Amino acid sequence: MSLLRLCSFPKCLAGRLVAERNVRHLLNVEHCLLCLRNRSHYERGIRDNPWTSQRRRYSAIPKKDDGNKRMWEQSHLLDVLEARIQQLQSDVLFDVKHSKVEFLKMPQRDKGPSPSKSQKTRPGEKTELSKAGPSNKKGATTDNPSTKTHTSRWFEKLNREKWNRTSKQSSLQQNVPDKLAKSSKGKSNKKQQTMKSSKGSMMLPGSSMKSISAVKRSKPVTKQEHAKPAASPASHSMPKASESPVSEAIPVPAELSRDAELAEVEELEQMIKQWSSTGTEKVIEVKEVNRDADTQLNVCCHLEVCVFMGDLERAQRYLLFHHQNLFKRKTLTVNSYNIMMRMWAKKGSLHHIRQLFFLVEEAGLKPNVASYCAALECMGRNPESSSRVISRCLQQMEEDGLSVDDVFRQCVFRQDERDMVLKAVRTVRPDYEPSVTTENTLCSLPLVKDYYTQRKDVRYPKLDFSLADLQDRFKRQLALEQANTITIDSVETMKPVKENTIRMRKLLAEQRAHWQKNLLRALRDSKLILGKSKLRNWKTDIYPFLCILRDEDYVNIMLQGLAKLPPSGDSLLNMAKELGTAVHNIFCIQQKSHSQVVEKLACIYNSYTELLAKDTKSSSVLPREQWNRLEAERSAGPSLLSDDMSWKHVLIIQLGSFLVDLLVHELKIQNNILNPAQDKKLIPALYHMYTFRSNRQIGFIKPHPILTQIQLEAMETKLTFDSYVMPMLCPPVPWTSPKSGAYLLTPTKLMRTVEGAIQHQHLLEKCRNEDLHAVLDSLNQLSSCAWKINKPLLDIIISIFNDKGSEKLDVPPPVSEAPEIPRFNPHDPSYTPQEKAHMKREVLKAKKKFGEMHSLRMDALYKLSIANHVRDEVFWFPHNMDFRGRTYPCPPYFNHLGSDVTRAILLFAEGKPLGPKGLDWLKIHLVNLTGLKKRSSLAGRLEYANSIIEDILDSADHPLTGRKWWMDADEPWQTLACCMEIANASRSPDHTKFISHFPVHQDGSCNGLQHYAALGRDVIGATSVNLMPCELPQDVYSAVAQQVEEFRVRDAAKGLKIAQVLEGFISRKVVKQTVMTVVYGVTRYGGRLQIEKRLKEIDDFPKEHIWDASHYLVHQVFSSLKEMFTGTREIQDWLTESARLIAKSGSTVEWVTPLGLPIVQPYHRARSHVLKSNIQFLSLQINYDIHERPDTVKQKNAFPPNFIHSLDSTHMMLTALYCYSAGITFVSVHDCFWTHALTVDTMNKVCREQFVALHSQPILQDLSKFMLQKYCSGPVGERQNKKFLEYWKMMQLLAKVPQTGDFDLHRVKESTYFFS
């Protein structure tokens, strides 16, 4: 480009802008004034000085003093840019001729060097250019004429880069072999003729011309040889053209030259295409979430709370601030505008609705069904709305592809919104009735298809409660959740009260009253300042969130957080998260009350109880189906499903940190409150300090020792909890979707995940409803089990708890029993450096022990106090699941997944007679709890129980004063509870009619290895884990210990010292934990730590050899497992390597369980997010961000255990469903199944049948098919050699399912000890 052209450029630019401005006047009619004003200023500036918009790319006319220099630089820059443009236009373009390889001639300057630093023409080189580039034919014109300019290293670099890229593309193309060349030479010649006549028939996808750059060859190309294009990235199918012309010139990788493997890859690609077209495999595609999604959600939450608190001016100002700023406008979504439309619709302001529609259009967004819903609601409320306006709105909806039915089907209504929309529609369509859609589609998954279709004669079990009783329980639970918190008596109130305790309680109550006043004043002052502030920062952004509750509610939340603070303190992050979450939960409950959902919920629930009550007729309808039907019948009024925005984790932390800051600054205490002799002075009750955790410095909130002492000595009689911590007093709401179920009002996630992770919820919402039916119904079955408290046993535990506890019985002692923390002056010169170091270690050790004892004590206090509070109640545990499908009760402290203590005090609320075999099952269960006779048959265990019947009865009658036989059991409290049940049944007139509430357990025999053995059809492995019928149970842990002992004897004979030291110390207990967890991905490092811990528990083992011994043993354990479970190791290796290659390709590992549950591993590379707060800047480590690359190590290590966990949860869910249809009570603790003694045999039958049904499915084949379709059916991207080979390697690996053995899976049905 010459200087003359450069100078004429501004004139052209100005003329073009004038023309565009005239046209734009017609298009800017509905744009906001601010946008038009900005554009006018911009155009005026261009008109006045056309260079202003180009200053970043061009400089102005140079001054005369250095004009020559700047002119040269300008000209040189334009040459470089021009060269780059030419490169981009003609890069990587191919042309093919039948006997010649053409190359793209590089654009040459008159004096510039060639890419190879030589001007000589290569053999076979032609001087003509491809069609799309400059032609040297007669009459051809060139779009980019070259000009004589100074050459430089910049231009050489561009040429060299272009040459290298075309050479790489050519090399990749030439490396693809063709399997048809040898078998069909005639066809090859025919193709040569075709290509000769049609020069442009074979094109690289994405290019508009064909040419191959010249490549150095070791020998001339013959006429029979011809080139072929690379495979299309879109289809991934290997090309079927003839042999490459340079196959002998460039060495081809060995793996690419194998025709058999190539044919295999082609076959795989055809299969993937077929799966994609037929849809046999359901691959749930979740579009990449917008990188601004978090900010967009925060904006919506801000607008929502402003509307909730009635601050319309703030909401409008906040929306316009983001809309008028072009950079911030991208943080707005159509939902942001809809929130404001909804607000103005309540006021009937059609003018504001119309303005918002203009803003939506100006933002480049499209109104959705919620937008039109707000408009129709506004018209329904406004008596002045004409039918013409409503008709025009409905017509516009139809033009946008929406219907009125979509409004009633998809929108979530609050208060009377639905009635207003219906009123507006009926203004122009008087006979319109919303279509009521009831979900009739049944789950069609192979495992449960019969369960849903063949239930004509099935009658599901009822609860042992009347209709009136259940409805009364609903009212009590509703009142509990509306109150948000509950205060209960502590079990420590049963201890005798001393005078000092009374004094401390009074002192603490006075301080709290004083703190409450101070916090209330400080909160109101802070809100007043923030409300008047005109600045925009994080504090003003959270101001609306400080106004959605009463001021007293915030103060109560802060004081409740203070009461939970342990003496050793807690991290600022944890404390902020707890306080922020408490505010969010209360806000969600208040929103539901504000939306008038409670009245409708009560109406539906009262009708729902007719399905559950014992005094109503039986039915074959599932709870989920009944709830959906009732909700559809009562569609009028507000929607039960809430559309509340979930607050982002960062927002919750910021809000919580603001409250923590108030606590730290406002809570003061007198320093002489315990010692009046000291001078009176106010000191902070809480301290903000810094400490190190895992080499990271974190903020820490610690109470003053004076406050800690007062709290410990007061031993308060009351404990305050959030309502969701307590068990439910009525049956939970059945799960009907990923957003609806469990508690009445408290928000609950179907899938519990890391705070802030959203990919799991996206996957669930993308699922078809019917695909989740089995998962939801199994959760509903687990939640429907009613419980009650074993009161005699609870009283015994509380008495021991209040009497200094017992570490042997797993009842934590009080912190008063903790070792005293040593006190010493580190500056005392009498101490040597070694003594100071030793004393510091002792202090840290004592403080750690104190903290652990306090944590355990408080955990036990919470559990026992909750149990004591509901001792006369019947209650339920709502369930949800983790991302692998494993189910958990929602109440965090007290549930049946807890310790031996909590399991022991839980009984089924419904009792059933023992029947003829029930007492025998109780006795067998008792022996199982003791940990004895693990390798004995069931008959042997029963015989042992009968032989110790006197000890059993003595334990039941005199648990604390008798022989105390039960105390030596593995699970002492459950053993004692079982002794009491056996004693009561034995002493009844007819034990077969004795009503038992006691749960009997059936535990899987190393369940993870059972699933691996079934997957691999491994006969030896199946026998080791009791899949094969045997007279005696096979104990895999003992077998591994025996194998390891054989290895030790062999090594000891060879003189290995550590093997000699270990003589007599290798036992089942030493290796059990490692064997159990190796199937779940434990590494050698983790296994060594487990064995080291077991060895330390052996008093006689020499401590100096622990490290060497644990290192030796973990190696032997892994070796023995590899020999015993060959199929397991192959499957585990296949899963691990598959995950590694998937993660390396940039994707997270996903799969779908046989019950249709989508699973994704949320392991990404961690990034830091700095969060501003008053008290300190918080650095959040975020490892779930889907925009970050996957963490390859975590992805590959976690895939095998997570996959097996998803299978054991699937087996449990299947067992739960079929036990429910069989009418028996069923509860699980992962791979431990519970039921009444009467129905153990039935549950065992169902358990085995469903295990066989599960593993009769082609699980690994389906997994392979899913992963091939998910990860190998998209475009490869830039087809560089390395990346393509990795893709090809991954495709081969995913398709290569490990071979299986010949174990007959149906033998599991005959195995007595599969679950026992």
Active site residues: 1003, 1072, 1231
**CA pair distance 622, 644, nearest whole angstrom:** 28
Cβ neighbour number for residue 1141 with a 10 Å cutoff: 21
Distances (CA, A) of 569 to 706, 708, 719, 721, 852: 13, 10, 19, 19, 12
Token pair for 825 = 């002056």
Per DSSP bridges, beta strands 696-703 and 570-571 are antiparallel
DSSP for residue 237: P
**CA pair distance 1159, 764, nearest whole angstrom:** 9
Q: Which candidate, 1142, 1146, 1189, 1138, places its Cα nearest to that of 1277? A: 1146
Q: For tokens 């793209």, what's the residue? A: 104
DSSP for residue 646: P
Sheet with strand 1227-1229: strands edge to edge: 999-1003, 1232-1236, 1227-1229
- Chain centroid offset of residue 483 CA: 30
DSSP for residue 1300: -
**CA pair distance 566, 1027, nearest whole angstrom:** 48
The dihedral built from the CA positions of residue 548, 552, 556 and 562, taken in this order, carries a sign that is: positive
Q: Which candidate, 900, 897, 953, 903, places its Cα nearest to that of 923? A: 953
**CA pair distance 945, 897, nearest whole angstrom:** 27
Cβ neighbour number for residue 527 with a 10 Å cutoff: 15
Q: Which long-range CB contacts under 8 A does 1185-1189 form with residues at least 24 apart? A: 1186/288, 1186/289, 1186/758, 1186/759, 1186/1148, 1187/289, 1187/291, 1188/1164, 1189/1146, 1189/1164, 1189/1165
**CA pair distance 901, 925, nearest whole angstrom:** 17
Distances (CA, A) of 257 to 235, 261, 783, 870: 21, 8, 59, 73
**CA pair distance 581, 575, nearest whole angstrom:** 10
Angle between helices 572-594 and 597-612 (to 10 degrees): 90
Calculate ∠ Cα 551-555-556, nearest 5°: 115
Q: For tokens 């046209």, what's the residue? A: 23
> Is the separation of the CB atoms in 447 and 777 below 8 Å?
no
> Is the separation of the CB atoms in 1071 and 1033 below 8 Å?
no
Beta bridge partner(s), residue 690 = 699
Token pair for 1017 = 């059809």
The one-letter code for the residue type at 1230 is H
> φ, ψ for residue 673 (rounded to 5)?
-65, -30
**CA pair distance 50, 44, nearest whole angstrom:** 9
Burial class (CB in 10 A: 0-12, 13-18, 19+), 1070: buried
Cβ neighbour number for residue 537 with a 10 Å cutoff: 10
**CA pair distance 788, 786, nearest whole angstrom:** 7
Q: Which candidate, 557, 518, 736, 794, places its Cα nearest to that of 652? A: 557
Q: What is the 3-state secondary structure (H, E, C) of 181-244?
A: HHHCHHHHHHHHHHHHHCCCCCCCCCCCCEECCCCCCCCCCCCCCCCCCCCCCCCCCCCCCCCC
Q: Which candidate, 191, 225, 1283, 186, places its Cα nearest to that of 212? A: 225
DSSP for residue 112: P
